[in-house]
Amino acid sequence: MPDGAQPVLDVRDLKTVFRTRSGEVHAVNSVSFDLRPGELLGVVGESGSGKSVTMMSLIGLVPMPPAEMRGGEVLFGGQDLLRAGPAAMRAIRGKRIGFVFQDPMTSLNPVFTVGYQLCEPLRRHMGLSKAAARKRAAELLDLVGIPDAARRLSDYPHQFSGGMRQRVMIAMALACDPEVLIADEPTTALDVTIQAQILELVKDLRQKLGMAIIWITHDLGVIAGIADRVLVMYGGQIVEHAPVRELFANPQHPYTRALLKTVPSVRGDRAPRLRVIEGQPPILTAAPDACPFRFRCGHRFDRCDAENPPRFPTGPAHDAACFWDPATDAPRNA
């Protein structure tokens, strides 16, 4: 992945708000990032941090209403996806941007055969005939490691195990050779050995097909294993962004540091209790004009309550949205 290459996806200042009875929820707040060709961008954060909503927003899969896009732009192949019409978006979804969702048990339609569901994007986007689509569908199933692929096309989703269904989902997402694959916690619902298999499969497919991948997860171990760069999200914002090694070696944001400490180690003495980050994740109904992490942060000072910190560059390709500088253990001058 050469640095400075033209990004395939460039998200700038994305804002998504959910209108609810109890007020507006600022689910995604000024999120900016880019995705370079062929790279694997990891997105971590706890539940409710806005990881999924960010990715759903940029492809128009959040239900509107109640969701509402409040500005920003998503540049993909010279086009702003936030301003593209529904028909243009449909032409992109499933063809140029593929999706894999969290729960393979419920993500496939139970009343259609796997073959039918695999053929749908092929027939719609590639204009393949029924026979050609079926042939390609069998190749895809074979590609994701499902044995006896041609015969299994006529099986229904309930006849597959969880891991196999996630393979089917991946095959479906890759059906039209997308430039971008968005995987929303694809291994969370699977047990650990199956999770490892799926990770290997994705690594392997990425080598073969060369698409860029956004991998959403809350599992830092998974991120360490496969990502090139990492975005850490908290309270609907990106709080830290760094290449993967840099992030684990030199975390800058107090949230990231706390998150890394919660990972239990099997080396040394067993800790009497698992480490946690004290406090609750923020309720996002308040206007985002202060640091979302301030209530759980050990370095909070008056500026944290007054301003929402911008992302300060802290090193090459590394930035963190925090007024406190861990290098000097003092507030930043900026």
Partner 1 sequence: MLNYTIRRLLISIPTLLFISLAIFLLLELAPGDPMAQVPLTVPPEVKQAMREALGLGEPVHIRFWKWIVQFFWTEPLHLFDSWFGTAWAEGQQRVISWQTRSPVMEIVAQRMPQTLWVVGLSYIIGTLIALPIGIISAYRQYSIFDQIGTFVSMVGFSVPTFFTGVLLIVIFSVKLGWFPSIYDTTLVVNDWSSFVLQLKQMVMPVFVLALYNAAQISRFMRASMLDNLNQDYVRTARAKGLTERVVVLLHVLRNSMIPVVTVIALGVPTVFGGAIITEQVFKVNGLGQLLITAIQANDLPMVQSLTFIFAVLIVLFNLIADVLYGLLDPRIRYD
Are 259 and 277 contacting, i.e. CB atoms less than 8 angstroms apart?
Answer: yes
Kindly list the distances between the CA atom of residue 157 and the CA atoms of 72, 111, 140, 160, 187, in Å, as whole numbers in the listed order.
38, 8, 16, 6, 18
The token pair that represents 261 in the structure block: 């400490």
We find the least distance from the C-beta atom of residue 20 to partner 1, in angstroms, to be 14
**Nearer CB in complex with partner 1: 161/262:** 161
We find the least distance from the C-beta atom of residue 86 to partner 1, in angstroms, to be 8
The token pair that represents 82 in the structure block: 């936030």
Binding partner 1 by CB under 8 A: which of 20, 79, 106, 129? 106
Interaction of residue 156 with partner 1, rule CB under 8 A: yes
Interaction of residue 187 with partner 1, rule CB under 8 A: no
Interaction of residue 124 with partner 1, rule CB under 8 A: yes
Interaction of residue 169 with partner 1, rule CB under 8 A: yes
Interaction of residue 112 with partner 1, rule CB under 8 A: yes
- Write out the binding residues for partner 1, residues 200-219 only, by CB under 8 A: none
Interaction of residue 158 with partner 1, rule CB under 8 A: yes
b/e code 14-43 from CB counts within 10 Å (16+ = b): bbbbbeeeeebbbbbbbbebebbbbbbbbb
**Nearer CB in complex with partner 1: 65/298:** 65
Binding partner 1 by CB under 8 A: which of 29, 107, 217, 237? 107
We find the least distance from the C-beta atom of residue 327 to partner 1, in angstroms, to be 43
We find the least distance from the C-beta atom of residue 28 to partner 1, in angstroms, to be 17
Interaction of residue 108 with partner 1, rule CB under 8 A: yes
Cα(156)–Cα(269) distance, rounded to whole angstroms? 48
Interaction of residue 90 with partner 1, rule CB under 8 A: yes
Judged by CB under 8 A, the stretch of 102-110, 267-275, 276-284, 316-324 that binds partner 1 is: 102-110
Are 72 and 156 contacting, i.e. CB atoms less than 8 angstroms apart?
Answer: no
Contacting positions for partner 1 (CB under 8 A): 59, 61, 89-95, 98-99, 101, 103, 106-113, 120-121, 124-125, 156, 158, 169, 172-173
